[in-house]
Copies of this chain bind each other. A is one copy, B any other.
């Protein structure tokens, strides 16, 4: 426990982001193409180095804004603008995870409503929303049938952990609303659950459940027809963050 300098070898610390959204009924993650070695040309999660005077959450919020333009709202700020939810996911520090040097990466999870096309330094061809199954299956094919190699570094593991966190967290928290615009219908919220869990849910039981959970949804009074069919009531996310009772993910 002495502070002999040889006792604490220098590390580089980065933040990596698992940014999830729901597009066209599929859970998608933001991927950027690497412009340099190692893993040049491969897809990776967005991220970057933590600056000397920066908190980890600040660094993650900064990277998120740089990559997507999203303004993250911390848990401390209850503002419900169209910012994204951002939370720490886990930290990855295998000595060999980066071949160049010792890098410890603090991964963060961001949940965002469906967004316009991403931007990565202004170059749209180097950033894309991709369905998570596509990014996680090895040897799959990406957009335009270009052969897709696995994600760079240990990013496949990080993405898998982030997806699993999101899947379990929408069970007992109101986080699914982070995938929705400020006002949304019960049907849109249901399609979020269906996309994230990859299951079909009974619209009638789902409606009863979410409208019956105190603090989950607050009706705004308005109605809308967005998908054809009977107009639906519009809701806003209620103040509750923990759902009681929780939403139950169907067995297998």
Contact = CB atoms under 8 A, between A and B. Distances in A.
How many copies of the shown chain assemble into the complex? 2
Interface stretch (A86-94, A136-144, A186-194, A218-226): A86-94
Interface stretch (A9-17, A200-208, A231-239): A9-17
A1 B14 CA distance: 11
A188 to B, nearest CB: 28
A95 interface: yes
Given A56-B104, A91-B106, A100-B3, A51 B9 contact: yes
A61 B94 CA distance: 14
A104 B12 CA distance: 10
Given A10-B11, A11-B11, A1 B95 contact: no
Interface in A71-110: 88, 90-95, 100, 102, 104, 106
A9 B92 CA distance: 18
A50 interface: yes
A54 interface: yes
B9 A95 contact: no
A117 interface: no
Given A10-B10, A10-B11, A11-B11, A50 B93 contact: yes
Contact of A13 (B2, B94, B100, B104): B104
A202 to B, nearest CB: 20
A146 interface: no
Interface string A46-57: 001111111110
A13 B48 CA distance: 17
A35 B3 CA distance: 12
A10 B9 CA distance: 9
Contacts of A95: 52-55
Interface of A: 1-3, 7-14, 35-36, 48-56, 88, 90-95, 100, 102, 104, 106, 121
